[in-house]
Structure 1
Amino acid sequence: MNIQSALQEAMAIDGALGVAVVDYESGMALGFLGGGQHLDLEVAAAGNTEVVRAKLRALATLAIDDVIEDILITLGTQYHLIRPLGRSQSSLFLYLALDRSRGNLALARHALKGIEAGLEL
């Protein structure tokens, strides 16, 4: 599936508030859906780029030879899921903001994993 189809599928996840495909090297969103007045996805994409970079630096500093599967940020009313794409040489990640009262974290993680597997770049 292409990026637009992947974004549409992610927005179909129960509780989805917004989703983006982001390049953590540049901080640019390749595409996004959802968001709104209280969730600026372009700003969130750039901010979460720093989160991914910081975690990658921490892994390197600790000499942990592994890959990031998910990064989860829990807020009072939202979950923010960051899922780096597992392809070699890829600097992209999926970012999903989820309403805690309507979403299911386990199902959202499972759905993002499936979207990642089907995404063709």
Structure 2
Amino acid sequence: MANVNESLKTLHSEITGCLGAALVDHESGMALGTEGSGLDLDVACAGNMEVVRAKMRVMEALGIEGGIEDILITLQTQYHIIRPVGNALFLYVAFDRKTGNLAMARRQMASVAAGLAV
């Protein structure tokens, strides 16, 4: 398993325009690690826990098999990506929409998530 802090530093440095990155416990919404200061990551982690829980409830209600690969939230000026890591955690990244590259960010998150998976 890769080091959490190093993994988050990698995301923050390799995703152009990254505002923040976090590894979050999806039961409590608590960050196990954060990197960046472009937004309040504690608030973002807690709020995105609710997004993940809501999506999981809807998938269950609809009988959708399989898991979440990632959740993308597009804002006028930012992209936010949530990517599950195993059954209890998720990676969260927010980055500038003008300078960042969505495809590259998703690819980098997939790589980091694979390294963090237990």
> Deviations for 1:11-41, whole angstroms, at most 9, x for unmatched residues?
01111110000011011110101134xx100
Aligned equivalents of 2:40 and 2:28: distance in 1? 18
Matches within 5 A, 1:1-121: 1-12=2-13, 13-36=15-38, 39-85=39-85, 87=86, 90-119=87-116
- The amino acid of 2:96's aligned partner reads D
Aligned equivalents of 1:17 and 1:80: distance in 2? 10
Aligned equivalents of 1:35 and 1:43: distance in 2? 12
> Deviations for 1:34-67, whole angstroms, at most 9, x for unmatched residues?
134xx10000000000000000000000011111
Aligned-pair Cα RMSD in Å: 1.1
Aligned equivalents of 2:22 and 2:114: distance in 1? 16
Q: What is the total number of aligned residue pairs between the two structures? A: 116
TM (normalized to structure 1)? 0.92
Residue ranges of structure 2 left out of the alignment (5+ in a row): none
Residue ranges of structure 1 left out of the alignment (5+ in a row): none
TM (normalized to structure 2)? 0.94
Aligned equivalents of 2:53 and 2:17: distance in 1? 27
- The amino acid of 1:3's aligned partner reads V
What is the percentage of aligned positions where both structures have the same residue?
57
Checking the alignment, whether the CA contact within 8 Å between 1:24 and 1:91 is kept in structure 2 is: yes
